[in-house]
Amino acid sequence: MFEITKKDKSSRARTGVLKTVNGDVQTPVFLPVGTKGTVKSARNDELKNWSAEMILANTYHLWLQPGDNLIKKAGGLHRFMGWDGPIFTDSGGFQIFSLGEKLKKGPANFVLKYDRDNKRSDNRQTPFNVQIKESGVSFQSGSSGEKKELTPELSVQIQNNLGSDVALVLDEFPGYPFEYEKTKKTVERTTRWAKRAKEEFLRLKKTGPDQMLLGIIQGASFPDLREKSAREISAIGFDGYAIGGVAVGEPAEEMYKAINDTVPFLEENKFRHLLGVGTPEDIVRAVARGCDSFDCVIPTREARHGKVYVSEKNGYKTMDIARSKFKDDFLPLDKNCDCFACLNHTKAYLNHLFKSGEILAIRLLTEHNLRFYLRLMAKIRKAVSGGDFAKLMKNYKNLERN
């Protein structure tokens, strides 16, 4: 299912091929987030043209609307949404925990602490009365008030109905700031849930789709708990692993430390996904620490707010296209980019579209940002394969705002 093709001599970076029934994926890879079965404002053929190889869909949202049974009836998520490439689905737990937290603490704190989901400011769709029990996580649906419970078994069943290529087990994650005793309990429960999920996965696999199942490693920023989680989840036996409990508001250095404390205890020849990450510099540094794939709403979410990523010789910078200084700037966003916006339009035109509230602005900026991320992954793969990853790391500067 996963084959390593090249290892970097100066770090844990590697290239590989993730083999699925719906196509091979070259790693390291970035997964555009298609929460509800669509990457916002992008068509599937466009995603293919931009070099997207695999997308991520959200179990929680598709379970509630339109329902996993309906999607199964349609022939699975690939047919339902018309995407013939690999699909990665998460377990649904993050959305229940984080959106429930949003309802309690308010939108401002939610935006600060949780970057992986971009919900509207109202709470009509968010879960409430969230309770974590040994059986699973129970809640009331924000849209109907109906009481529901997502269990490790049900999460696997839903993803089985969706027919994704890569599925995740249900886990519990601690919010930030991290507390040792609370984190220890989440690690232990995540292990117990992982065992139940694996049993259900093996039962369904006899007649279900050809899926990979990833175990999730927790432990926050505590080295002993990261090792404990990694060893316990590895012992259960999964097709690969996801590193969770990161990008939830902690400083970047704590996230890098969590990866460093996890990767040495995972099998070298298995696929590793870093959940909810992230910025371009986070991705580069996580690749150096041995991660193979990433998902994040940043490129699409930022496009909807007028923020674009522009390549530079030693990294990149960001631009706010709504700023008045771009009103009469008749140069492209990025002279090195091959997206439609950069080949055909100027910053002045994009500034006009965005300030006018035109939908085309969001479509063009979304394409540009996703193309930037996908080109970045191609650069990383080329650097690792050619033995130049250390140079890429050295030259890649931190975020420079413009």
How far is C-alpha 39 from the chain's CA centre? 12
Q: How far apart are CA 388 and CA 10, in angstroms?
A: 10
DSSP state letter for 175: P
Please confirm, yes or no, whether 292 is among the known catalytic residues.
Answer: no
CA distance 309 to 302: 9
Known catalytic membership, residue 295: yes
Give the span between the Cα atoms of 29 and 294, in whole angstroms: 6
| Strand partners for 89 | 57
CA neighbor of 30 nearest in space, from 200, 361, 274, 226: 274
Start-end of H helices in 297-339:
298-304
3-state secondary structure of 398: coil
**What's the order of all strands across the beta sheet hosting 271-274?**
29-31, 293-295, 271-274, 240-243, 212-217, 166-168, 87-89, 55-57
Tokens of 107: 């939108």
Give strand pairing partners of 371: none
**Distance (Å, whole) CA 263 – CA 293:** 14
Cβ(94)–Cβ(117) below 8 Å: yes
Among 219, 212, 222, residue whose Cα is nearest residue 243: 219
- Of 117, 165, 295, 334, the catalytic one is 295
Q: Which residue in 68, 90, 117, 165 is the catalytic one?
A: 90
Round to whole Å and give the CA distance between 397 and 312.
Answer: 9
**Catalytic sites, residue numbers:** 90, 295
